[in-house]
Chain A
């Protein structure tokens, strides 16, 4: 199972775009890249998933280079309510392990 590496923490300000990069050098051909958001004392919430190139939904974009050894979650115009821990997972639905995650703090 591909191991993921993310920054431990990041700070940002309201209205800014935040990019969180995840490294997954050993990603397998069949692996998808999925990002989750977690608030304290809550279960993780799905943000976005992709396999290659770029994926965009109503809350985020996911950029995946051709070699798929990394991915970048982009959150446009963050607000205080985006303060949370963000996890990058690589694998399929039956084999997903959480890394340490990135603690994002959005300041006013």
Chain B
């Protein structure tokens, strides 16, 4: 099956610094990638959708200048949390879709990145 990786799996940073999270599709070309945020005991909240080579589409309420998304290639998308604050501490998950294999509409999810801002 399709595999999506994220790096790092966890990161601790100081308030005011920036953190970059990578999302890679390892064995397929991802036409679209998605970034989600998940707080403890809550559901996944879609932050933005990105297509390779074009600007990301952000969900309402998500600050695009704070959460910079770059989808430079068909296998890599990055999320940069700029000037991180403790309230940005969360579990960030990416997913990707590509050419359908035996499933028609499926997002392949990465393992997630735990961000803690101190």
Determine the distance from Cα of A31 to Cα of B111 in the docked complex, in whole angstroms: 26
User: A43 and B49: CB pair below 8 A?
Assistant: no
Q: A92 to nearest B CB, angstroms?
A: 5
User: A43 and B93: CB pair below 8 A?
Assistant: yes
Contacts of B43 in A (CB 8 A): 87, 98-101
Please report the total number of A residues contacting B with Cβ < 8 Å. Answer: 21
Cβ < 8 Å to A, chain B residues 1-37: 4, 6, 32, 34, 36
Contact among B36, B97, B108 with A94 in the assembled complex (CB-CB below 8 Å): B97
State whether the Cβ of A49 lies closer than 8 Å to any Cβ in chain B.
yes
Q: B67 to nearest A CB, angstroms?
A: 18
State whether the Cβ of A83 lies closer than 8 Å to any Cβ in chain B.
no
A36, A43, A44, A45 — most chain B CB neighbours (10 Å): A43
User: B111 and A93: CB pair below 8 A?
Assistant: no
User: A92 and B105: CB pair below 8 A?
Assistant: yes
Q: A53 to nearest B CB, angstroms?
A: 15
User: A34 and B105: CB pair below 8 A?
Assistant: yes
User: A44 and B44: CB pair below 8 A?
Assistant: yes
Contacts of B105 in A (CB 8 A): 32, 34, 49, 91-93, 96
User: B111 and A42: CB pair below 8 A?
Assistant: yes
Cβ < 8 Å to A, chain B residues 52-84: none
Contact among A44, A49, A87, A97 with B104 in the assembled complex (CB-CB below 8 Å): A49
What are 22 contact pairs spanning A and B, CB under 8 A?
A41-B91, A41-B112, A41-B114, A42-B112, A43-B93, A43-B95, A43-B109, A43-B110, A43-B112, A44-B44, A45-B109, A46-B103, A46-B106, A46-B107, A87-B43, A93-B104, A93-B106, A96-B34, A96-B105, A96-B107, A97-B46, A98-B44
Chain B residues within 8 Å of A, Cβ to Cβ: 4, 6, 32, 34, 36, 43-46, 49, 91, 93, 95, 97, 103-112, 114
